[in-house]
Structure 1
Amino acid sequence: MNKRSILSHPAIRLDDVHLNLGQGRAEVHVLRGITLAVEDGESVAVLGPSGSGKSSLLMVMAGLERPTGGDIAIAGTRLGGLDEDALAAFRGKHAGIVFQSFHLIPTMTALENVAIPLELAQAAGRLDGAGIWERAARELDSVGLKQRVSHYPAELSGGEQQRVALARALATRPAILFADEPTGNLDGATGKQIIDLLFAAHEDRGTTLVLVTHDEALAKRCGRIIRMADGHITSDSASKRTSRVAAAS
């Protein structure tokens, strides 16, 4: 975990966050007063059954969904104070996101897909344009796809497509990596490869990892497990793996 000053901000902070969808009789309370903080360099699993609100929690954490009430801050910046353009730019700088669906552009090669966030960062003045393609190629190499840079999504297996999506999420070297059921469309062996790559990025780069899952065994690979049901946090504790490591040290 990264060293922190006592005066620094958590990577993520939520204060009394609510999310309601729909209106009138059709209104659904998806998140009900969520308060939590995630520190820099933590690995946090959000665990719960379908409909518990875990994916919605990730969406509001990542700034992809505006909460109905409450405050969300990333590295001390309140997301509610940003307009849509500023929020998109802030998200592009600080967060990488991997979904269950790969969301690759079918008419672009693996290399071109990974380069998209780099080109956006360049256009926003956050990145020098020199070396964008080399950097995208390095990210593909880091997930074992050095020989697939010129392949289109339809020419790749599901596991390879998810690795492209992971390389794209990591391309701008974000401080936070959000992963929403990243192995949901993959077989067991391929899914394990993706998870190993996620945790390698977390450990090697010091990236804060927030992982949404319904898989108990996968959740235990994280240092902390947040359990959800019916839009509430029902428990928030260190995983048994972390507890064993602490006891042994």
Structure 2
Amino acid sequence: MDFDLPLLLFWLKKLASVLLLPPLLPLLPIALGLLLLRRRRRLGLTLAWGGLLLALLLVTPGPVNRLLTPLEPPPLEMAAIGDAGAIVVLAAGKRQNAPEYGGETINRLSLERLRYGARLARETGLPLLVTGGAPTGGLAEADLMAASLQQDFGLAPRWVENASRDTRQNAELSAALLREAGIHKVLLVTHAAHMRRAQEAFEAAGLDVVAAPTAWLGQAVEGAEDRLHLPSASAAYAGWFALHEWLGLLAYRLSR
């Protein structure tokens, strides 16, 4: 069996994200603080209460929205499309156990992006590129997106990039396909909170990017708890997403 360094790095990155993101992130200082209570009580209490406060902040709409606001751009204005030559839709994962679809299918995040990409394709007439590999095995996310486009939206992508493992590879491999077709400007479709990092990656790959964000999480009202600014499940998910993107941006800076 050949040693796959990129795959190893991918899984190391995933492991690091488990430690640096909720729900484990705030539990670590709490656990460490409890372990230190006997020997260094003040430090132990500080860590434990600090972890509890962090956990609370990351599930409360107000603090979470403050994390999201700098990440999420405004909606696409059609006048900004100009001479864009294609629409690029980024995958966001899949459901491996979907018996109602005969096996695997795209998850709800990929579907949100795909739906908006299909809408833009109909409004602009631009060809579609879907991008996403299969880092965890099975069918590539881009192949599942292509199938959903055809079956659910009556559209066919012109390009299917199915070898990438992360956003940077989405950008590099998609840019290579588009350059062969003479395309240098694209509409980039992804979640609003992911757009800043995705746009950086695609521009670094040499493409001129027009942001076409979808599915805003900041200021979203999902239920009574959010309207009352109380901790909620939707705020917890948005907090995880926001922190994930900030860590991703930091990783980009450190790897330059």
Same fold (TM over 0.5): no
Task: Say which structure is richer in helix.
Answer: 2
- Shorter-chain-normalised TM-score: which range? under 0.3
Q: Calculate the TM-score normalised by the size of structure 2.
A: 0.27
Higher relative contact order (CA 8 A, sep 6+): 1
Q: Which has the larger radius of gyration?
A: 2
